[in-house]
């Protein structure tokens, strides 16, 4: 019940569980955590032009490309739902997550799956990257919301691109001596 039957990669339920665990670990260790959301560009048009069976094959090819980006223990490619996918990248900062997301986009473009309903004539995907050092009060929905906002911007700005969302690192207040009273603040 943790694998997507059509693509063979983990499903949303498993992703949620692993993201929760990764958030706790990253919060404890104060390390970066990134979540990348992907969406196949103009997938409804693809299904309308080529049929649902070809659409399934297309999603399987995208899933294989994503799975190929899992390089380290803890990296997780999953099907989020429909034509949306996610890539969980523990201990990965924004720059590296962006670079990995771009490699996925390049990899899907390289597949050269014909798509006459897309400007370049081949299947492309868009990506939204959310990166942060999770705080204890954060929920997985916060990461999904950030990645989704970035994905929406990628779609809005022309598709076949990566957009980012990053929460700032928590600021640790510095202790400064009070010059007038000689007290610590």
Domain range summary for the chain, segments of one domain joined by +: 12-166
Tokens of 13: 């339920």
Determine how many CB atoms are found less than 10 A away from the CB of residue 74. 15
pLDDT in tens, 104-157: 999 999 999 999 999 999 999 999 999 999 999 999 999 999 999 999 999 999
Output the pTM of the full model. 0.89
Q: Write down the catalytic residue from 83, 137, 141, 163.
A: 83
Chain center to CA of 56:
21
pLDDT in tens, 52-106: 999 999 999 999 999 999 989 999 999 999 999 999 999 999 999 999 999 999 9
CB-count exposure of residue 39 (10 Å: 0-12, 13-18, 19+): buried
CATH topology of domain 12-166: Alpha-Beta Plaits (3.30.70)
Q: How far apart are alpha carbons 18 and 15 in whole angstroms?
A: 5
Q: Which residue has the tokens 């569980």?
A: 17
Our answer to whether residue 156 is catalytic in this structure is: no
- Give alpha helix (H) positions in the chain: 12-29, 43-50, 52-67, 94-111, 140-156
């Amino acid at each position: 019940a943790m694998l997507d039957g059509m693509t063979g990669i983990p499903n949303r339920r498993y992703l949620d569980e692993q993201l929760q665990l990764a958030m706790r670990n990253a919060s404890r260790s104060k390390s970066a955590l990134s979540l990348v959301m992907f969406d196949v560009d103009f997938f409804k048009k693809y299904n309308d032009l080529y049929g649902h069976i070809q659409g399934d094959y297309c999603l399987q090819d995208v899933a294989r490309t994503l799975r190929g980006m899992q390089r380290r223990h803890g990296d997780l490619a999953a099907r989020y739902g429909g034509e949306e996918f996610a890539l969980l990248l523990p201990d990965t900062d924004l720059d590296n997550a962006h670079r990995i997301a771009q490699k996925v986009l390049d990899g899907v473009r390289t597949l050269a799956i014909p798509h006459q309903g897309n400007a370049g004539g081949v299947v492309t995907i868009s990506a939204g990257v959310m990166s942060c050092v999770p705080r204890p009060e954060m929920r997985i929905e916060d990461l999904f919301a950030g990645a989704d906002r970035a994905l929406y911007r990628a779609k809005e700005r022309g598709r076949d691109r990566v957009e980012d969302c990053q929460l700032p690192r928590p600021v640790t207040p510095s202790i400064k001596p009070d010059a007038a009273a000689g007290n610590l603040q």
